[in-house]
Amino acid sequence: MKHLNIVSSAYRATIEEQDDTVVWVTHCLRNAGADIDMLLCGAAVNYPAAGQQVAPVTIGGRTQKHGPDVHEQIRTFVGNGSKVMAVREDLDERGIDHRRLLQEVQVIDRKALPSLLKNYDRVWHW
Partner 1 sequence: MSKGKTLTFVLMDPPFEASRTTTAMRAIDAALRRGVNCNVFAYEGAVMLPFRHQQPHPNPVHGRDAAEEDHPLPREWVAGLMAMAKERDAAFNWVNCGLCVDERGAGDAIDGVQRGTPADLWKMASTSDNTVVVATA
Partner 2 sequence: MRELLIVETRDADEHRGPERMVDLAAGMVSSGVPSTIFLTENAAFAARRRPEGLAASAIAAGVSVAVDHFALQERAITETELESGVDPSSIDMVIEHLSRGNCVLWR
- Report in angstroms how near the CB of residue 4 gets to partner 2 at its nearest: 10
User: Distance (Å, rounded) from C-alpha 68 to C-alpha 15?
Assistant: 6
Subset of residues 95 to 124 that bind partner 1, contact rule: CB under 8 A: 122, 124
Instruction: Find the binder of partner 1 among 15, 25, 43, 54 (CB under 8 A).
Output: 25
Instruction: Find the binder of partner 2 among 31, 53, 63, 115 (CB under 8 A).
Output: 115
Subset of residues 53 to 92 that bind partner 1, contact rule: CB under 8 A: none
Please identify, among the stretches 26-34, 78-86, 99-107, 115-123, the one whose residues bind partner 2 according to the rule CB under 8 A.
115-123
User: Distance (Å, rounded) from C-alpha 23 to C-alpha 10?
Assistant: 10
Helix axes 21-31, 70-79, angle to 10 degrees: 20
Question: Residue 20: which residues within 8 A CB-CB, separation 6 or more?
Answer: 7, 10, 11, 12, 14, 44, 47, 68, 70, 73
21 near partner 1, judged by CB under 8 A: yes
What are the backbone angles phi and psi of residue 109, rounded to the nearest 5°?
-75, 145
Residue span 18-57 as binding mask against partner 2, x where in contact by CB under 8 A, dash where not: -----------------------xx---------------
Question: Which run of H or E residues covers position 124?
Answer: strand 122-125
Which of partner 2, partner 1, none interacts with 33 (beta carbon under 5 to 8 A by kind)? partner 1
